[in-house]
Each structure stands twice: as structure tokens, then as C-alpha cells.
Chains A and B, each alone.
Chain A
Amino acid sequence: KQEVTQIPAALSVPEGENLVLNCSFTDSAIYNLQWFRQDPGKGLTSLLLIQSSQREQTSGRLNASLDKSSGRSTLYIAASQPGDSATYLCAVEMDSSYKLIFGSGTRLLVRP
């Protein structure tokens, strides 16, 4: 059974710092991995999708990497801003079920 783990569970950093969020998964038979952002009481916003054949994706200050064989992904946020404060979730889409399996998220606070 696929398990997705995100470390750390919470992170507090000063504005301007570069940071890395980690995501690991136990079953490498995935189609893709997606990173989402969730603000309190809101729905999820898609940030990046990495296909299983890809190594990384970039969007603005965000860069996500994928090492499928080791079951790891990282989300790198450059020059963090208070507006980046949110919960970040990673999820893998399995090739056996076409469902997303979510991690429990990392709560990020960027202090002004």
C-alpha cells in the first residue's frame, strides 16, 4: 500500500530564506507526483506536476524534483515571502488506480 510522508510537519523561517520541503513515497510505481498549496479553510491550488519520466519542474520561485527510484521529491522555494505561508501537500498518482495519494502536508510560516 502506498504511503506518502512529508517532512517536516511544520516549518517557520524568516522572509528571504531559501527552503526545501521533503516528500517520500514507498511504492515507486507512480504516474506522476503533484505539489499543492492549501490556505486555511480553502481548497487546494496546484503548484507543479512532475511526470514519472521527468526529473524536475520549475515555476517562478518554485522548483520540484523527483527521484522515482528512491521514492523522493523535494519542493524548493527561493527567496521566501510571507505570502508563501500555507500548507504544502505532495501527492502521487498511482498507475494501478489513477487515484492521488496525499501526504499529511508541511505547514509553512514565513515571518516578515
Chain B
Amino acid sequence: EADIYQTPRYLVIGTGKKITLECSQTMGHDKMYWYQQDPGMELHLIHYSYGVNSTEKGDLSSESTVSRIRTEHFPLTLESARPSHTSQYLCASSEWLGTQYFGPGTRLLVL
């Protein structure tokens, strides 16, 4: 069982609010990822990190930002939420060239 956690699991918020989705892992993995997935649709990589102070944009353009100040923590922030941000956000981590372990996801609804 992988130890990767996401909070909150569900979030309903109004337009214009700032939100931070938390992701933490206790496995000491250098690599961490954020994916966005609409119901029944494909996963899209929006951010990834190879280690502390490393962040890269993924394949899908996103208005969110990330930070990696500690190995175990990779939060995602939306400065001003909009209805188009409604989706499921999945965090994952891995060793180099190893299995990716996923968190349970955060389901975001922006009204």
C-alpha cells in the first residue's frame, strides 16, 4: 500500500476564491506529479517535479501553480477558481523509472 495522501477529498467553492490542493507522500520519492481528469476522460499531466525546487509544466496548459519546498510535499494552487477548473485532480509520486503511486484524488467543483 502506497503512502500518498491528498486533501481535501472533495471541495465545493465559489468563483474567484483561492484554493490549495495538498499532496504529501511518505516514501521519499523524488518525482511527483499532478494530473487533471474529467469524469470518464483521459488523464492529463499538468505539473511535475523531479525534486526539491524543481517544477515543470505538463502537457496540458493549466492556470494552476505548484511548489516543491520539501521532498514529501507538492501542493497545487489556483489563485482564482473558475467553473472551468471543475475536475478531479490526482497526485502521484515515484522513484526514478519506478511505479507511479497515486493518491485518492481531489474532486473540485467551482460554482
Contacts and interface: CB of A to CB of B under 8 A. Distances in A.
Interface of A: 31-32, 34, 36, 41-46, 49, 51, 89, 91, 93, 98-100, 102-105
Given A31-B97, A34-B100, A102 B42 contact: yes
A91 B92 CA distance: 14
B31 interface: yes
Given A41-B88, A41-B107, A99-B58, A46 B100 contact: yes
Nearest to B6: A43
Nearest to A44: B102
Shortest 7 CB-CB contacts between residues of A and residues of B: A43-B102, A44-B102, A46-B99, A43-B104, A43-B105, A102-B43, A104-B42
Q: Which of A41, A43, A46, A51 has the most CB of B within 10 A?
A: A43
Contacts, number: 52
Contacts of B41: 104
Contact of B42 (A36, A45, A105): A105
Contacts of B105: 41-43
A7 B35 CA distance: 23
A34 B33 CA distance: 16
